[in-house]
Amino acid sequence: MSDYRVALQDMNFVLHDVLNVGADWASMPQMSEVIDPDTARAILDEAAKLTANLIAPNARAADEEGIHFDNGVVTTPKGYKEQFKALAEGGWVGVTANPDFGGMGMPKTLSAQYEEMMCAADISFSLYSGLTAGAIMSMDLHASEELKNTYLPHMVAGEWTGTMCLTEPHAGTDLGIIRTKAVPNSDGSYAITGTKIFITGGEHDLTENIIHLVLAKLPDAPAGTKGISLFVVPKFLVNEDGSLGARNPAVAGSVEHKMGIHASATCVMNFDAAQGWLVGEPHRGLAAMFTMMNYERLGVGIQGLGAAARSYCTALDYALDRRQGRGAKATQDTAAEADPLIVHGDVRRMLLTMKAFVEGGRAFSSYVGQQLDRAKYAETAEQRQAAEAQVQLLTPVAKAFMTDTGLETTIAGQQILGGHGFVREWGQEQWVRDCRIAQIYEGTNGIQALDLLGRKVVGSGGALLQPFAAEIQTFLRADSGVWAQEFKQLGAALTELERVSKHVLNNCKNDENLINSVAVDYLNLVGYVAYGYLWLRMAKVAEEKPELGDFSSSKVKTAKFYFAKILPRTQGIVASIEAGSGSMFAFSESEF
């Protein structure tokens, strides 16, 4: 397995040269107090040392060992406790958390880079702190001051971790049919009883306490999702003086045996009248969870990006070093018995596709993070509302497109290594396995596509698409310079996106299966257009910085490759959308 090389230059280029985050942060009072470009660079430097030198070298050994389960007790792989201690001591668990509870209060635009590093280093390990960050956010937004003061300082410090206990064996994504019950106790707490599955970090040995956020229904709850409440249920009860008390009956019944992320404890959690406390209002639990879902879904997209980035490092090293076959006459090394793999056209096709998706994904995740920051911290209500519209539109794209292209990228990396990519020693098969789950959890990618097309685009009558389309149109009205052909291509792809959006709007009432049938194609179309927009932004900045040498030249050439070899995929996608649902729904069940 190759060493993990953090793409610090590219991260800083995207943040400071392309997105100009310094201007954003300076205009936001809450941000200007905690972050500036120099501080951001220093934070990323430290994050790179932590992830590349401490976490990444242990990833394969941790995957090989996996977790150990014995009668409700989970032991994590060797090295994980030391790694998590270093993470906590460095303040990384609370990198975006509220400073009132000890967090750094960093913007999502910056934390997206740190999250990519963590995922590229070891997705399994990243999940323990990543889920904790999500639980911290949800509690900070919705819990009472008493609950926040009891739990958040310890969670932000990395002394306790957090989970999100949502689905159940029979429910899947349909949370409206969960059966976990919350019965009021005389002291104001609740007795939580039920079984939750697929609970990341539900039990482990990294911290002394685990704080579960559990969806459950009160006795008088309305049916469906409108009857779900949210409760905080600690593994160990907390005494009034802050010390740990009795063990709560919230116990891991088993752990899942998974295709990937072997070192992440994915638990079946059994709650047997466990004591819990209401977070937020009764019957508003799902709404409370959804306030942090945009952050979590972007985080899952970044898992796909991280796996892709790590796979690219290994594939590139191998292609430069491995000698096999002969290239064209102009590329032959006559002094050696064979040429390096990188001279072969198909290897270059795969490497450049990987590079285009990794660097395009990094720009896209940072762009969505910037919209999240603006939606939360921008000075005016108008600015916040405009950014929130972008967040609503692009969050499902970030989750689904970045994980779909992440899997495509890791598979390409495996393919470049040939047989050595299929065996374990080089690590490429691990990134394929670890990346695969990201397309499934936090709402499968098909559900993300339905959310985008059905709820966001059709649900708004097309209005939610317009601000993003208008931003791209404004960009395309600028001087194209040497990029006239690419400007024309992006403009044509955007026109097709707007046209098929109207096509679906005009025909979905007459074809009840249309949205369901074309949603995934539609999400991919938005993804390719968004990446094209950001690749042109990056290319135009890079060509103005010849002093960056090979970095600038590579960025410009990769943009050319994206428009020549990847953006044309949209033509087939448009044809598929226009074909409608007829060919799918012509079958009876017996004909499958």
| Domain residue ranges of the chain, discontinuous segments joined by + | 8-290, 293-581
Nearest Cα neighbor of 403 from 432, 355, 436, 426 is 436
Residue-wise pLDDT for 302-325, tens only, equals 999 999 999 999 999 999 998 888
Residue-wise pLDDT for 507-549, tens only, equals 999 999 999 999 999 999 999 999 999 999 999 999 999 999 9
pLDDT computed for residue 1 by the predictor: 62
The amino acid that residue 304 corresponds to is: G
Tell me: pLDDT of 219 over 90: yes
Over its C-alpha atoms, the chain yields an Rg (Å, rounded) of: 24
Query: What is the DSSP pairing of strand 73-75 with strand 236-238?
Result: unpaired
- Per the prediction, the chain carries an average pLDDT of 95
Residue-wise pLDDT for 130-175, tens only, equals 999 999 999 999 999 999 999 999 999 999 999 999 999 998 887 8
- Give the mean pLDDT of 467-481: 94
Map residue 373 onto helix, strand or coil. Answer: helix
Asked if 267 and 203 touch (Cβ cutoff 8 Å), the reply is yes
pLDDT computed for residue 552 by the predictor: 97
Tell me: pLDDT of 423 over 70: yes
Known active-site residue 471 = no
CATH class of the domain whose range is 8-290: mainly beta
Q: Rounded distance, CA 562 to CA 539, Å?
A: 11
Query: What is the DSSP pairing of strand 160-165 with strand 209-216?
Result: parallel
Q: Show the tokens assigned to 177.
A: 């049919």
CB atoms within 10 A of CB 1: 18
Which of 168, 203, 359, 442 is flagged as catalytic? 442
pLDDT computed for residue 463 by the predictor: 96
CA torsion sign, 527 to 541 to 561 to 325? negative
pLDDT computed for residue 293 by the predictor: 77
Residues forming beta bridges with residue 270, ordered by sequence position:
195, 251
Q: Rounded distance, CA 250 to CA 194, Å?
A: 10
Is 532 exposed, middle or buried, given 0-12, 13-18 or 19+ CB atoms closer than 10 A? Answer: buried
- Give the mean pLDDT of 480-496: 96
| Superfamily of segment(s) 293-581 | Butyryl-CoA Dehydrogenase, subunit A, domain 3 (1.20.140.10)
Helix axes 345-377, 293-321, angle to 10 degrees: 160
Q: Show the tokens assigned to 135.
A: 């639980």
Q: Rounded distance, CA 485 to CA 397, Å?
A: 26
Is 302 exposed, middle or buried, given 0-12, 13-18 or 19+ CB atoms closer than 10 A? Answer: buried
Q: What is the dihedral of CA 344, 347, 348, 351, to 10 degrees?
A: -160
Is 547 exposed, middle or buried, given 0-12, 13-18 or 19+ CB atoms closer than 10 A? Answer: exposed
- Give the mean pLDDT of 53-70: 97
- Give the mean pLDDT of 437-447: 95
Q: What percentage of the chain carries pLDDT values higher than 70?
A: 100
